[in-house]
A and B are shown apart, each in its own frame.
Chain A
């Protein structure tokens, strides 16, 4: 019997090649988009699950400040006092380009991590080479990834080789590990031993004269026992606050598998995903799939009358309703399966497109591992798609079927129209989203950042060895004197990269603020204005600071009399002025309070150079030559601020492009369906068209008559789509502190676009039908 179903299905598809092609191709297309999106979703949801212990690893978080930074000494306290904790490790990352030297040759390495030996016991980090039992046999050991090994040593065996970090700290390679996979929230290319005090990268000082208030913030991961209860462990730990003091007041735990998508803490130093984006993509994938299913259902039911004889005969020779139901359900599953196989082929060819939308390493392997989910889903999809026609065919009486009658087909506004309305609704929603997103992204990109980023060059400041300090000062002097350069500023932290947070010790205002260290020419170089107080002078270094308007408001000050920013340093910093708010992070977030501490030494991360207009080329050449002459062992790395800030919105731009592409595809799928519906509808009305022509209807009148039906559907779709789109976009825009207004224009534009698309789709076919010879049309009967 199954063979008979197969044969009938295949031969039927073959007989109606055009329909079958549109039907299966549209379906395959939809499924392949859904698979492409799923490949990305699977990747995003798989983060950190590859670790053998992933279900048992948790990160400690500071519940009081919602921060991931915790003093390293907390690790031992927790490990010794709570038997549920099987193991614990330290982790810390410098998310910067680090200058490293090998045999006097300089390189840059991204992402230097600092961990202890326990890290390798807890996490699944496969070693390719190792020369001791423990990854770090001594304090100066370094473990590098295979990519870093290739980059730094080429084909040479890296084990035992010496690397000098930041021209200051020599370390020896004791192991080579595989690269962290794409779906790891921890990314590092070089790992040093956290037991070494030199590699406790950052320091918090509350009181420089009292060593007990020094803090070395780390991320602490715990490996819990199989049957440990996290809630009760957290309760137990917080129940003995004295144990954690003075380092912590209150902690919480965050599961490793939740870190990528659900971490809301400050300073996590791990990769972060965007769960909202995933939900959006999931909705789009699902919508496209539904559109494809609707097409299938619509086209199959439009073809129904061609199958009546077959059903009538089968019923006459003994087929029951169940047999007919089964036949069409199986047929639908077969077609869906065929579409699925084609979709897999389409996907394999279109994967570069998905890579450009999502990320370079995207592949389908991870997705295909879920075949045991995918196959049943395809079968269910086939069943859902076929359910309608299976019911319709099974419920038709044998005599009706033999006569070729369709009792349900006489109604003008059928459920098929409802489905077409749905398709257009989805299309209009997507069009609105695309327009609104493009506008918002443009708005963000061209919005005034509050500082003058034109012709402003960002140069990475390397860690200068003591012996080279004079050369570095000389370089700065030369830059300042060069006529093509208007201003030079040295800072720790720049707009788009701020890595330091400090409390202000102001009662009731204990939020840690982002901090920049800057010299006195910072304001001039960045074109930032002082709105209150005074501009800084060279004598201000080390004792004074500036705050922004937002901080002034946050502290609820009304003047600057005796105002101090007490970050823990004795006496704190005198607040000498307030500067205009400028964007130091993305436009997604409101400009939050921040402080600029005035320093002329310390550890600069960047040199910002304001270049005079019309002299860009020669100035860049001058900088390169001067650098090469004075600091030949250090690598020069620079970038203009405008492109650096643009990069911040790359994710949004990519998302905008992705939604644009998916919307276009969704519209194509909808149009395919509409096209078939028009063909079907004009075929059905051939006689009517003929008679109308004979009694004098013009071509224009006929085109209008035939198109009217579809225009009504588009109009209905718009009415449904607008509130949905408005709601969806308002939610998305809430992510941005600075956003466009969703005017009525966006909706009208989307509606008109949908209308034009629908008109273009139906016009050719209606025109053809309207211009056909009326004799032909009447002979059809």
Chain B
């Protein structure tokens, strides 16, 4: 599903050049659950942004679904993104002005799904995340765990093949963190490919593969037995 070759990302400001990704070559197959670990500033989030087509690499190749996308324009990337990728962020990133229902509905609006189907799918996924009873609430009225469940619901409502989770448990206590991890594990079980950045080894254990990053390089890659819930 994903193949990168010598992926490089350099941020340039007026005076400084910062290399966030130095030379990343990575292959992720369909159905994998990859956990990425590493210290702060090692390029985990940058990698996720590039993999999620939010950003283009400075150099190197990136094959997503067998297409070389590293030079894609924003329009092409957003087309690919909206049909194939779901994001879960550490800070949930729910839009404050929208209700739970409206936040989850958002990806379907951009996918131009008809109103009737939208409604059915949103309610379905809210049910699945056990948050349907709060559908008319605003994000500020929810607990952290609930907010992250809404964020996951929003990530999966568009039925993406790939879910990118950037420290999904970072802002949650251990109970809620565990809860979100179980949801991700279930999704993986159902065949969704997941790439997750995390600091916590116990959550990294949910992954089928562990990738360690340091200073923009892949240091180790471990294949693991699938963690059990």
Residues of A near any B CB (own CB < 8 A): 1, 4, 7-8, 11-12, 15, 309-310, 312-323, 397-399, 402
Contact between chains at A317 and B106 (CB < 8 Å): yes
Complex Cα–Cα for A320 and B102 (A)? 18
- Given A11-B97, A15-B97, A309-B95; A320-B74 close (CB under 8 Å): yes
For A309, the closest partner residue in chain B by CB is B93
Contact between chains at B110 and A318 (CB < 8 Å): yes
Chain A contacts for B52, CB-based, 8 A = 316
Contact between chains at A317 and B107 (CB < 8 Å): yes
Chain B contacts for A318, CB-based, 8 A = 78, 81-83, 107, 110-111, 158
Contact between chains at A313 and B97 (CB < 8 Å): no
CB<8 Å pairs between A and B, sample of 30 = A4-B98, A4-B102, A4-B109, A11-B97, A11-B98, A12-B97, A15-B96, A309-B93, A310-B95, A310-B96, A313-B95, A314-B106, A316-B81, A316-B89, A317-B87, A317-B158, A318-B78, A318-B83, A318-B107, A318-B111, A319-B78, A319-B82, A320-B78, A320-B110, A321-B78, A322-B75, A397-B54, A397-B55, A402-B54, A402-B93
Secondary structure call for the A interface: helix
| Contacting residues of chain B (79-95) with chain A, CB-CB under 8 angstroms | 79, 81-83, 86-87, 89, 93-95
B217 located at the interface, meaning its Cβ lies under 8 Å from any Cβ of chain A in the complex: no
Contact between chains at B49 and A399 (CB < 8 Å): yes
B149 located at the interface, meaning its Cβ lies under 8 Å from any Cβ of chain A in the complex: no
Complex Cα–Cα for A323 and B79 (A)? 12
Complex Cα–Cα for A313 and B52 (A)? 13
B154 located at the interface, meaning its Cβ lies under 8 Å from any Cβ of chain A in the complex: yes
Contact between chains at A1 and B74 (CB < 8 Å): no
Q: How far is the CB of B11 from chain A (nearest CB, A)?
A: 10
Chain B contacts for A1, CB-based, 8 A = 109
Contact of B55 among A12, A322, A399 (CB under 8 A): A399
- Given A7-B98, A8-B98; A313-B74 close (CB under 8 Å): no
Contact between chains at B75 and A320 (CB < 8 Å): yes
Chain A contacts for B82, CB-based, 8 A = 317-320
For A398, the closest partner residue in chain B by CB is B54
Chain B contacts for A317, CB-based, 8 A = 82, 86-87, 106-107, 110, 154-155, 158
Chain A contacts for B107, CB-based, 8 A = 317-318
For A311, the closest partner residue in chain B by CB is B95
Contact between chains at B97 and A8 (CB < 8 Å): yes
Q: How far is the CB of A331 from chain B (nearest CB, A)?
A: 11
Q: How far is the CB of B198 from chain A (nearest CB, A)?
A: 18
Give 5 nearest A-B pairs by CB, closest first.
Answer: A318-B82, A11-B97, A318-B110, A320-B78, A317-B107
Chain A contacts for B87, CB-based, 8 A = 316-317
Complex Cα–Cα for A313 and B79 (A)? 15
Contact between chains at B109 and A316 (CB < 8 Å): no
Complex Cα–Cα for A12 and B98 (A)? 10
Complex Cα–Cα for A8 and B95 (A)? 9
- Given A7-B97, A314-B106; A399-B54 close (CB under 8 Å): yes
Q: How far is the CB of B82 from chain A (nearest CB, A)?
A: 2
Q: How far is the CB of A503 from chain B (nearest CB, A)?
A: 79
Complex Cα–Cα for A321 and B98 (A)? 20
For B110, the closest partner residue in chain A by CB is A318
1/0 contact string of B91-122 vs chain A (CB within 8 Å): 00111111000100111011100000000000
Complex Cα–Cα for A47 and B72 (A)? 61
Complex Cα–Cα for A399 and B77 (A)? 13
Chain B contacts for A15, CB-based, 8 A = 96-97
Contact of A319 among B105, B110, B155 (CB under 8 A): B110
Chain A contacts for B158, CB-based, 8 A = 317-318
Complex Cα–Cα for A4 and B49 (A)? 26
Complex Cα–Cα for A314 and B54 (A)? 11
For A317, the closest partner residue in chain B by CB is B107
Chain B contacts for A399, CB-based, 8 A = 49, 54-55
Complex Cα–Cα for A8 and B154 (A)? 17
Contact between chains at A315 and B78 (CB < 8 Å): yes
- Given A7-B102, A315-B78; A323-B110 close (CB under 8 Å): yes
For A401, the closest partner residue in chain B by CB is B54
For B109, the closest partner residue in chain A by CB is A1
Complex Cα–Cα for A331 and B96 (A)? 17
Chain B contacts for A8, CB-based, 8 A = 95, 97-98
Contact between chains at A313 and B93 (CB < 8 Å): yes
Chain B contacts for A4, CB-based, 8 A = 98, 102, 105-106, 109
Chain A contacts for B55, CB-based, 8 A = 397-399
Complex Cα–Cα for A737 and B200 (A)? 88
Chain B contacts for A402, CB-based, 8 A = 54, 89, 93
- Of B75, B98, B110, chain A has the most CB atoms within 10 Å of the CB of B110
Complex Cα–Cα for A312 and B154 (A)? 14
Contact between chains at B95 and A320 (CB < 8 Å): no
Contact between chains at A320 and B97 (CB < 8 Å): no
Contact between chains at B97 and A310 (CB < 8 Å): yes
For A313, the closest partner residue in chain B by CB is B93
- Of B52, B78, B102, chain A has the most CB atoms within 10 Å of the CB of B78
Chain B contacts for A322, CB-based, 8 A = 75
- Of B82, B95, B155, chain A has the most CB atoms within 10 Å of the CB of B95
For B78, the closest partner residue in chain A by CB is A320
- Given A318-B107, A323-B110, A399-B54; A312-B102 close (CB under 8 Å): no
